[in-house]
């Protein structure tokens, strides 16, 4: 007997997979996309075109697991291709300047959008587009890696090399995942005010003033150095 396919309309959504370098973000995105393929969905993966370490038409994990992908520097370049898909996986989401608007539009069209990306740079500064996406996503979770110094859970990324270059492409030779204590120890010379927030001493709990209506006097986020996860 011929199997009948469900004709129910798919609900669109945005799912964020966040974390530091080497935390398995791309691996998790691949798993979710493969699961959707097994369910008969048309899946398209987008990779950041600035990452030329691997095949041009393949997204890759650090341990060289690969899936076919289309390369772009802005989502709008390949938006027409994505309209044909049921499920979209976007790797290195922090690098796409138009990802918030495009992901929202795709989800509103009924697409399932998986986005893997760094939540913070090597200074633990947030990537603006990822911070904005949190308000639009149905689901977001943060993975951790393993600290390369002590073996504890590692939620942060340490840059091994001294450079102020905006975009630094690299793997284990350039970056390492670290825990809080190891991050502070490794960066106490690079960031003398590591126990301060935004250049000001951390406030004691009794001195903190929290506005229930939002964060007051919030300065615009500046352009952050880029890293490839």
Q: From the candidates 92, 172, 173, 216, which is the catalytic residue?
A: 92
CA distance 27 to 145: 12
What are 154-185's pLDDT values in tens digits? 999 999 988 766 567 777 889 999 999 999 99
Between 73 and 1, the higher pLDDT residue: 73
Taking CA atoms, 72 is separated from 37, 131, 159, in Å, by 22, 21, 25
Catalytic status, residue 172? no
What is the tens place of the pLDDT at every residue in 177-217? Answer: 999 999 999 999 888 777 665 543 343 333 333 333 333 33
Tens of pLDDT, residues 16-51: 999 999 999 999 999 999 999 999 999 999 999 987
pTM attached to this predicted model? 0.79
Is 13 in contact with 107 (CB distance < 8 Å)? yes
Residue 211 neighbours by CB under 8 Å, 6+ apart? none
The DSSP bridge partners found for residue 79 are none
- Residue 132: phi and psi, rounded to 5, are -70, -40
Domains in the chain, CATH or no CATH each: 13-202+222-227 (3.40.50.300)
Chain centre distance of CA 198: 22
Residues 6+ apart with CB under 8 A from 208: none
């Amino acid at each position: 007997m011929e199997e009948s396919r469900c004709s129910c309309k798919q609900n669109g959504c945005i799912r964020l997979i966040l974390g530091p370098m080497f935390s398995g973000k791309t691996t998790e995105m691949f798993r979710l996309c493969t699961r959707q393929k097994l369910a008969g969905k048309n899946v398209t993966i987008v990779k950041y075109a600035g990452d030329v370490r691997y095949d041009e038409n393949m997204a890759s994990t650090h341990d060289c697991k690969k899936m076919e992908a289309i390369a772009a520097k802005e989502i709008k370049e390949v938006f027409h291709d994505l309209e044909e898909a049921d499920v979209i996986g976007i790797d290195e989401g922090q690098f796409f300047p138009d990802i918030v608007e495009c992901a929202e539009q795709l989800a509103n069209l009924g697409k399932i959008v998986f986005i893997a990306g760094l939540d913070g740079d090597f200074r633990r500064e947030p990537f603006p587009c990822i911070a904005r996406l949190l308000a639009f996503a149905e689901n977001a979770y943060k993975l951790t890696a393993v600290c390369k110094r002590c073996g504890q859970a590692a939620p942060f990324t340490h840059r091994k090399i001294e450079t102020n270059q905006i975009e630094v492409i690299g793997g284990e030779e350039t970056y390492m995942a670290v825990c809080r204590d190891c991050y502070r120890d490794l960066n106490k010379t690079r960031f003398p005010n590591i126990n301060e927030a935004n250049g000001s001493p951390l406030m004691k709990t009794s001195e903190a003033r929290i506005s229930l209506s939002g964060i007051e006097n919030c300065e615009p986020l500046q352009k952050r150095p880029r890293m490839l996860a």
